[in-house]
Structure 1
């Protein structure tokens, strides 16, 4: 029985591992621009072509317009639409009412491998509400005569064709403008075309299946420094007011502390920080409120300020403060009372500015995909290009039931930096093939791209209340990729549910990270991870948590307003919105991450114990010889240590990782989690337990334990970064460190130890005037090292 369980566990581990694939990627076949990357990659840098996907051919039919259509003899008008028929596939345009010269401007794409006909028929019909639609005419094309368009050739020019009757005779009246050609998924018409892969989708659902590129909203910090106020009066003239300031931007509300003294000229000098997005739609609403009783606050003044009037702060230069008038509020009793009119009563002293937020703000700190500031003028030159070919998915699980059969309407979303991409939806397929390629500029190699697969639940009418189901997610850290190498792997899609871990399929990707400047990449490893403003005006941990939550909400709302929308549940899943929630499983996983890192120390102590016990006399004698040499020549200690690390790094080069890291179910304790722990992890917050006392204690425990979990995870991350120095997980970082070790070994060998110790001591004890607020080069290098957090589920 135990042997059988062990075999099953081994089989599951094999299923959860990364697999090599050998897709028939297209050779560097030309295309009409970077798919999904128009305006992002300049023509000089877009040296690579559409070669990371399998080439798929489509028959394109562009229906432009018609003219002089004959009216119906009974109704004396015509409601025309066009039906494009290729074998068993039919695509229809929208119909126009009472129009003899309609313009459709729609494109239909039919997959060549599914075409079972030698002709293409374009029918023009008259829409009837009661009876069968009237037939107006048709145009027929022979498949063998259809031209093939090879981008970057210009688009095929549409032509006028006379309509024919059912028997093929040319009609006297009526023409239609068409263009028919054979192309690939690199064609400009591909994203907006109606696809035969989704022929069952009609109505508004058609707009939700198209591939799209989305842009992250431009985020800013709104820093409001509330300094003081003057001439604040309360309703009770006998008591001086004790006031505070409440600031609101959209749904975000922050308050200052109560002024410690009761006075008409209160002083706070307190910072309130919000997240806002361009274009600025909200206003800064300020109210000055008096704490009249412990349970009652009265508004004594208010002001509404437009965000457009505030300065955008791009560097650390000071921002000038300004006085703003406050309007009196709530002093009148009767509607006709003149005191109820808004008029100047006092003023408030503020220092307000917009600071360039960083795109790390809307992401989990472990999976940063962009570290640039908001202001484009502060961006540096890109150091590389990331190209991702989203090929296909295999073995997806049925996510819903359609006519008694399980089905999945899958699409894939990728997020990196400011740019989100969404593939087209392949309907009713458990093995969808997208074969779409996307391109991103890379400004920092120590970033992560996230890809998620979802089931589209918004194809039919009246399904607005549904949410798109999660199928699985993949994260890839760019620094773990070798430059200019194409990775073709099949990534398991794993989802953790209350019933346990489940594999929902596999996602096949082709990835290439192209380097534009190796010197720039090497320079970045010693450069601060975030811009200078982040270190000169740092936020507290609580502020970052609050700002990140607000930023996620803003991004979800803005992307949900696109057409087709990128829905809230998709954005939240991609941004790991629930990563801070308490989980016994994650806490145990982080604890055992730390334990595994100390296994090397334990092994070293055991080895030293064996040396002490003379279990291997030869080894013990060699250790004694080395010990006496180092005692006699102490200047050899540091060179020996660095040389030893250099040799370990060279030795570990043989066992360096060959594949990008992926979700590790064993590391995440996803398989070994107890059902009760999973029930706790997927419990609502606040808990759904019935007893009020249990709910209060349970929530308090989860809140505290969530912070402990974060701290433990951070400790594990730092320890894993030490381990990454010589593990070749980041080949560039390990190369730099190994070279440094060699140089340090030689330099320390020829430099007297006393001099090195003196310089190090003087440097460590140097005066604060000679210290910089920015992190040191070793600190920057260390923070850029990868950890195993990327592989956490």
Structure 2
């Protein structure tokens, strides 16, 4: 019996192992870092839906639309156009109508007009199929509530089973006039006006979707219900304003007071250097740089001022130049200079002060409002210099999962923002949901593949505070394969003062389509920015200042849109705080450099092992390769390039199939010290106590001291190399000159192959022929003088 059982178990072993592995009582051990990684998803995108089928909304087959990167969602659309012949109020003699659309527990209201019997609203309401709790949609025409009056003027009801379905590319449904019914539907009910309506069933591909009031995006705030719709924004067109201050004439400043020119555009202020008051015609020849946006709202204000005291400046003259009179140049060609008269201020002056300027709007530059590391556009300002797009990128913002509560009452009202180039998009706000579903698709034209698409999720504060960050995702287009649909769930990671926290996951579907492969390959040989950036380059300090001003302008203009894109959202998308000091980032960058040199260190370690005969077989093979390359030197370069070719082919199998995302280990976000986090989130200037600031300053001095030592050692090695021929040590230079002379004679009479072979055999000599003492060349180099002994 025991033998029979053992035999049966042996034959059924594979099936038992499979059954046990599928049991939920034996879960697999999960790596704690897996929650920070990208996950593959398989959403039911548009291209996977079956074609044809019935058009019934409830229980019918889904129909393919042009939105092939999102899951199709059905909505009941109600378009309220206008009304006519509404009854007037017997008390006031007027009518203050508005329309209320009710479907189950969801209500949407139009704007209320005062004293209008024929109002026009032209507003669309959208109710999601998944949240409908009634089969009847009711449209009420109401008036401003008054005591003792009926609660509505009239109503129109629709049965959902009779509502038509209209999906693109069907033609739009024309609105119709419907007579209003009274509250009591008796046969003798008299008619009380008409309302023009259109009711249909459609998807998010409908043209009415972006501007519609959505039931899943409505929230109660203040006195009523409002909805934050999806919105497409366009960044303002930015220009660099260059004002070359050449000179001035007849400047009557205070005695012995230096003068300077100050330029101001809005909140931007630039000043020239002080010119000593030795003549009435000072000369500066300096550039003042500003960032301005179309439409131009501010003028250029220039003042000539004299420095009469440490904190006191006296205005000599002032003038204002409108932007539309300035010349716009597309390249680096010089601009014609002009003389401008300054308005006299204060006391009467003998002569009119003039200033000589060369001012223009620079159209050949790309105005940087984001870091070049995360740049999404490189086109110059002037549209005449734009090239044709080389592709398009399509993004389907599907949904988010497992979001954390962001408000004190334990809710989250999430929306997603995406930016690429000049185009910003914002999804609708899904209220009180930890797993919001958007299913909105957007498209951008691509002019350069080496750019990044940025997406971020925020919690809507509904005008009562700042929108909270939930997480950010960056997608570099050059890492994507063309015409491939990527469907992934990205973890939303945010660094808080308490440490790294996963705020949820964002599900995306995106595709990069190439229009011209030849043009895209050609772009890899072109400069990243327009050529004006290299012909007339800005300094690092100028670029930082101009980028800061550009970000402020973009945030200000987008904050005035409706609905506004708040300042904290724009700053988070543009990485305003990326330049701030952080011990965590400093350590991460240090280890990035160490990781880069680790390959060279590994190669050097392998060469040392070969030279020390750790593996005799490998060393013998290296001897054979050395002899072949010395005898046939024409094989050196082909062998090197062929080696790199096979290395690239070998690494192809190791290529990650997923786009890159945040690496928490490389960012040093997992094991960061709490005090370092507190320092990173500190305000500027600091708001911490004096003892904490002293401790951090001492720590910074310690870290900077180690960096200073490393930099000093590198400088010492370079100075020793230069000292070989500088005669700082006459004896060392004489020895090196004699060595060079002897080496020149030996290399002249000895074939180069023999020299190379002997040198290679010497380096690969057996350890028994080696000494543990430093070699003569190394000792000689270390004895060379450096300039470190001349430092204080």
TM-score (norm 1): 0.80
SS at match of 1:407: coil
Structure 1's 198 and 17: CA in aligned 2 closer, same or farther, altered over 3 A?
Answer: same
In structure 2, distance between residues paired with 1:183 and 1:614: 76
Q: Which residue of 1 aligns with 2:434?
A: 430
Alignment of 1:24 with 2:44, yes or no, is yes
Structure 1's 531 and 27: CA in aligned 2 closer, same or farther, altered over 3 A?
Answer: same
Q: Which deviates further from its counterpart, 434-443 or 130-139? A: 130-139
Alignment of 1:421 with 2:431, yes or no, is no
Q: Which residue of 2 aligns with 1:93?
A: 110
Alignment of 1:370 with 2:369, yes or no, is no
Post-superposition shift, 1:59? 0.3
User: Which structure 2 residue ranges, 5 or more long, are not aligned?
Assistant: 1-26, 52-64, 712-751, 754-792
Structure 1's 126 and 205: CA in aligned 2 closer, same or farther, altered over 3 A?
Answer: closer
User: Which structure 1 residue ranges, 5 or more long, are not aligned?
Assistant: 1-6, 32-47, 332-338, 713-752, 755-793
Alignment of 1:605 with 2:585, yes or no, is no
Give the one of 57, 79, 84 matched to 2:101.
Answer: 84
- Please give the per-residue CA displacement for 1:220-272, whole angstroms capped at 9, x wherever unaligned: 111111111111112x4xx3552111111111111111124621011111111
Alignment of 1:170-569 (within 5 A): 171-201=190-220, 209-234=228-253, 236=254, 239=255, 241-260=257-276, 262-331=278-347, 339=348, 345-356=352-363, 358=365, 361-402=368-409, 406-458=410-462, 463=464, 466-569=465-568
Post-superposition shift, 1:97? 2.5
Structure 1's 206 and 154: CA in aligned 2 closer, same or farther, altered over 3 A?
Answer: farther
**Residue 325 of structure 1 contacts residue 344 of structure 1 at CA under 8 Å; is this kept in 2?**
no
Q: Which residue of 2 aligns with 1:150?
A: 167
Post-superposition shift, 1:204? 8.6
In structure 2, distance between residues paired with 1:408 and 1:497: 18
**Residue 365 of structure 2 contacts residue 532 of structure 2 at CA under 8 Å; is this kept in 1?**
no
Post-superposition shift, 1:596? 1.2
Number of equivalent positions: 669
In structure 2, distance between residues paired with 1:358 and 1:50: 36
Alignment of 1:55 with 2:72, yes or no, is yes
Alignment of 1:15 with 2:32, yes or no, is no
Q: Which residue of 1 aligns with 2:55?
A: none
**Residue 241 of structure 1 contacts residue 262 of structure 1 at CA under 8 Å; is this kept in 2?**
no
Post-superposition shift, 1:196? 1.1
**Residue 326 of structure 1 contacts residue 344 of structure 1 at CA under 8 Å; is this kept in 2?**
no
Post-superposition shift, 1:701? 6.2
SS at match of 1:593: helix
Structure 1's 8 and 468: CA in aligned 2 closer, same or farther, altered over 3 A?
Answer: farther
In structure 2, distance between residues paired with 1:394 and 1:512: 22
In structure 2, distance between residues paired with 1:383 and 1:632: 49
SS at match of 1:164: coil
User: Highest CA radius of gyration, 1 or 2?
Assistant: 2
In structure 1, distance between residues paired with 2:208 and 2:222: 20
**Residue 80 of structure 1 contacts residue 124 of structure 1 at CA under 8 Å; is this kept in 2?**
yes
Structure 1's 632 and 583: CA in aligned 2 closer, same or farther, altered over 3 A?
Answer: same
In structure 2, distance between residues paired with 1:570 and 1:30: 39
Post-superposition shift, 1:423? 0.4
- Please give the per-residue CA displacement for 1:328-386, whole angstroms capped at 9, x wherever unaligned: 2222xxxxxxx39xx96210011111102755610012100000001111100000000
Post-superposition shift, 1:50? 1.3
**Residue 28 of structure 1 contacts residue 49 of structure 1 at CA under 8 Å; is this kept in 2?**
no
In structure 2, distance between residues paired with 1:613 and 1:468: 62
Q: Which deviates further from its counterpart, 115-124 or 248-257? A: 115-124
In structure 1, distance between residues paired with 2:509 and 2:150: 47
Alignment of 1:564-579 (within 5 A): 564-579=563-578
Q: Which residue of 1 aligns with 2:757?
A: none
**Residue 82 of structure 1 contacts residue 122 of structure 1 at CA under 8 Å; is this kept in 2?**
yes
In structure 2, distance between residues paired with 1:374 and 1:364: 17
**Residue 167 of structure 2 contacts residue 202 of structure 2 at CA under 8 Å; is this kept in 1?**
yes
Post-superposition shift, 1:395? 0.4
SS at match of 2:273: coil
- Please give the per-residue CA displacement for 1:700-743, whole angstroms capped at 9, x wherever unaligned: 969x98xx99x99xxxxxxxxxxxxxxxxxxxxxxxxxxxxxxx
- Please give the per-residue CA displacement for 1:146-191, whole angstroms capped at 9, x wherever unaligned: 1111223332110011112234345333111110000001111111
Post-superposition shift, 1:692? 10
**Residue 685 of structure 1 contacts residue 699 of structure 1 at CA under 8 Å; is this kept in 2?**
no
**Residue 160 of structure 1 contacts residue 175 of structure 1 at CA under 8 Å; is this kept in 2?**
yes
In structure 1, distance between residues paired with 2:364 and 2:467: 30
In structure 1, distance between residues paired with 2:423 and 2:224: 24
Alignment of 1:744-783 (within 5 A): none
How large is the Cα RMSD of the aligned pairs?
2.9
In structure 2, distance between residues paired with 1:9 and 1:298: 75
In structure 2, distance between residues paired with 1:546 and 1:9: 51
In structure 2, distance between residues paired with 1:205 and 1:696: 52
- Please give the per-residue CA displacement for 1:494-514, whole angstroms capped at 9, x wherever unaligned: 110110000000000001000
Q: Which residue of 2 aligns with 1:718?
A: none
- Please give the per-residue CA displacement for 1:202-228, whole angstroms capped at 9, x wherever unaligned: 679866611111111111111111111
Post-superposition shift, 1:80? 1.9
Q: Which deviates further from its counterpart, 541-550 or 139-148? A: 139-148
SS at match of 2:462: coil
In structure 2, distance between residues paired with 1:9 and 1:319: 70
Alignment of 1:109 with 2:142, yes or no, is no
Structure 1's 199 and 388: CA in aligned 2 closer, same or farther, altered over 3 A?
Answer: same
TM-score (norm 2): 0.80
In structure 2, distance between residues paired with 1:576 and 1:455: 18
Q: Which residue of 1 aligns with 2:644?
A: 645
